[in-house]
Homo-oligomer: A and B are copies of this chain.
Amino acid sequence: MRVPVRIVLVGTSHPGNIGAIARAMKTMNLDDLVLVSPKDFPSAEATARASGADDVLSQARMVDSLSEAVADCGFVVGASARLRSLTWPTIDPRSAAKEMWSKIAHTQVAAVFGPEHSGLTNEDMAYCQKLVHIPANPDYSSLNIAMAVQILCYELRMASIDFESFLRDEAPASENPLANAQELEGFHQHLEDLLADVGFLNPDHPKQLKLRLRRIFHRASLDRNEVNILRGVLAALSPDSSNKTEKNLTNKN
């Protein structure tokens, strides 16, 4: 599912960061990148760091001012490593992602990131309804700008998907399908017969131990291949088999 949130970079210094940001965006299904007066762009370094996300780079728009970049936006958040005064409404990336999704049906939404070393100015923040702050280590909050974009884009994607159904849709079919009930029953019968043979099951209460063993293997959710392996183990452990093995050894000697 496309995340229709615009990422706006103001005065970015390092083209490598712009490339890494394009890649970060594409991994999380964002594609709308606007660059306000980048210091060095287009650039071979940006393209190299973008890896396979060069389409996001080539579609990126360049503008001269933040006001132009967010002109059509009804909801804009500014990302800042610095905490400003508490009177500026400050939210974490998770809350920001939820709030951005709640606005998307009604208006264009954007997230703005300032220059690497100085961050957004107060003039830039005047275009932003909220300040997004990644709650980094107060003693070392030096988060790379591409990392900050990655975290916000990750939260936007997390807010858009249901992980369980994502797994159902995207996981490759297992090469070893889970064992079905008949196969499992065959294994359990085999195991219980063997334990009865060696006198391990309490003849008065055989059911209790059987149930415990079954519970263990149910939790393991065995696949077909594993059931075959385990039945091989049981076969190898059965008294008949050990006789056979001894005979085989004897024969070989």
Which residues from chain A sit less than 8 Å from chain B, CB to CB?
20, 23-24, 26-29, 51-53, 83-87, 90, 92, 94-95, 133-138, 140-144, 146-147, 150-151, 154, 157-158, 161, 163, 166-167, 169-176, 178, 221, 223
Contact = CB atoms under 8 A, between A and B. Distances in A.
Contact of A23 (B85, B87, B142, B175): B142
Nearest to A171: B83
Given A87-B223, A135-B157, A140 B172 contact: no
B85 A176 contact: yes
A142 B52 contact: yes
Given A27-B136, A86-B174, A171-B83, A144 B20 contact: yes
Nearest to A86: B171
A87 B176 contact: yes
A151 B94 CA distance: 12
A154 B151 CA distance: 8
A53 B143 CA distance: 11
B171 A51 contact: no
A79 B85 CA distance: 38
A220 to B, nearest CB: 10
A136 B94 contact: no
A30 to B, nearest CB: 9
Contacts of A158: 92, 94, 135
A167 B150 CA distance: 22
